Amino acid sequence: MGMEIKARDLIAAGWREDARMGMVLKRARELEATGLDRAGVLAALEADFPKLALRAELRSTPAGCSEAIAAETPAEIASVAASRARMLELLHVPVIKRGALMPDTCPAGAGIATIPVGGAIEVENALLPGAHSADICCSMFASFFADNRPVGELMDHLWASTHFGAGGRPRGKQFYSTLLEEPVWDNPFLAGLQGRAREFLGTQGDGNHFAYVGRIEFTPDQHRAIARAGDTDLAAAIERREGGFHVLVTHHGSRALGANVYKHGMIEARAWMRQNATSIPEAAAWLPADSREGRDYWAALQFVARWTRVNHALIHDEFLHRVGLRPLAQLGNEHNFVWQRGDAFYHGKGATPAWRDAKGRPLLGLIPLNMAREILIVLGGDNDEFLSFCPHGAGRNLSRKAMLAPYRDAEGDIDPARVKQVLAETTGGLDIRWFNGAPDLSETPLGYKDASKVKEQIERFQLASVVGEIHPLGCIMAGQAAEPPWLQKKREKRAAHKAARREWTTENEE
């Protein structure tokens, strides 16, 4: 073999003299030590460190964007306009081929090029961590089971099976899976996270995540549609079971594991941007899918997806064990993730895949609307006009802060009595529970878009076809921590003072 490869040789071969040069040279030494000739070393380096002749820049005009949404009220129009503005900023990014907005679209932040909820993009040879967001693989999972015991008893078992709130499960109550022993922890995006993966198994977090018990009966037409789609387990269960099913549905993401993978992914993508691109917004930073970093990140995403699916299954297994039953059928789907179809990478933020598999069968999916409404079981329409996605839920017309504003008094407090009244009006007859002790008004049906409109638009734009509706019986969400006694006394004292002041004002006016 000839003399070892120098930096000048790499520059002559087409690599830029940038911060990666040291890594490229180090890898060259490793390859030379294996006995490869110069041509072999250069070919291997190209696979690990693709050459870029030019720095990537924003396009002058955005890629196309289709909208599967019909805004009518002022709040809906404003929400869609804000989502559209962020999406158009994102579509100037050169690796993005086109985009789409779903019926549940709403802004996910005010940062430039921040993909909105209900946003989907088709991307060429790139992975954008910001386009799947920090809650990687936020997803749905359903277990169908035959049972006729009281709803309250089922909800008690569910309460004992799941865990909401910050942090992992308490010591002594942690779950285990052989997934934790997979040889993945040398992946740079997963390094040091094995403990977090273990600690957070069996947890659901907070925000809009939930555990929901419902009831479903399938019509003969729905049964036939599911059978034709090739979901043999569910079709067989429907055929055996007259009178319908109870269904447990959970919604959550990858918890601290995914949040840390996302954080590391954003750091690496932004570092890559600094060396290889100009003026790309931070929210749109990417890693080339065929680079070493891109391949590692892709592998980490696949593990996070497996972990999240196992996490759902463990909670369902615990619940079903407590009630002494086995699932008759199970199904699930992701809505914050990256999927590869052919040569393209499809990114969704709150967007559910609604395409056909390699055998031409439409995917079964789950779309929740709110805690007091049905969860839809759908078959994907594979409508290419909208990138073959459908919504992940009902979305919001107002941010949580804006939605809560009318319910706050002059001091910024929400009267618990009013919350109780709202819950009675919007969720009456359902077993609604808050794991942290107090209700979260922003997670009641008041916080979400009109569920009937979202459902109608799914069909109007031919995103998916509804083949079942799981009707609610009970729902657990994280809620808010209960008010400590000292704060409750302070509130009562302040209320008494306000009442006295009103009385004094009334007397003096008379």
Q: Which residues are CB-contacts of 77 (< 8 A; sequence separation ≥ 6)?
A: 71
Calpha distance 223→226 (Å, rounded): 5
Residue 129 in tokens: 């961590």
Is 370 annotated as a binding-site member? Answer: yes
**Three-state secondary structure along 96-133?**
EEEEEEEEEEECCCCCCCCCCEEEEEEEECEECHHHCC
CA dist list (Å): 56 to 63, 168, 309, 402, 442? 16, 41, 36, 38, 41
Is 111 annotated as a binding-site member? Answer: no
Q: Does residue 383 contact residue 354 with C-beta atoms inside 8 Å?
A: yes
Name the strand (E) or helix (H) holding 423.
Answer: helix 416-427
Is 436 annotated as a binding-site member? Answer: no
Buried b (16+ CB within 10 A) or exposed e, 361-396: ebbbbbbbbbbbbbbbbbbbbbbeebbbbbbbbbbb
Beta bridge partners of 364: 379
**C-alpha 427: how far from its chain's center?**
25
Is 264 annotated as a binding-site member? Answer: no
Calpha distance 253→299 (Å, rounded): 17
Is 393 annotated as a binding-site member? Answer: yes
Q: Where are the alpha helices (DSSP H) in 200-333?
A: 220-229, 232-240, 255-276, 292-323
Residue 48 in tokens: 């690990």
Q: Which of 252, 312, 347, 392 is catalytic?
A: 392
Is 251 annotated as a binding-site member? Answer: yes
Calpha distance 304→47 (Å, rounded): 25
Is 81 annotated as a binding-site member? Answer: no
Pairing of strands 364-367, 375-380: antiparallel
CA dist list (Å): 297 to 266, 287, 447? 10, 8, 35
DSSP characters over 224-251: HHHHHHT-HHHHHHHHH-TT-EEEEEEE
Calpha distance 474→446 (Å, rounded): 17
Annotation marks residue 392 as catalytic: yes
DSSP letter for 428, please: T
Q: Which residue has the tokens 């369902």?
A: 316
Is 394 annotated as a binding-site member? Answer: yes
Buried b (16+ CB within 10 A) or exposed e, 20-35: bbeebbebbeebbeee
Q: Helix, strand or coil for residue 360?
A: coil
Residue 356 in tokens: 């056909």
Is 347 annotated as a binding-site member? Answer: no
DSSP letter for 173, please: S
Residue 260 in tokens: 């840390």
Active site residues: 392
Return binding residues for GMP: 335-336, 368-371, 392-395
Return binding residues for Mn(2+): 209, 251, 335
Return binding residues: 209, 251, 335-336, 368-371, 392-395
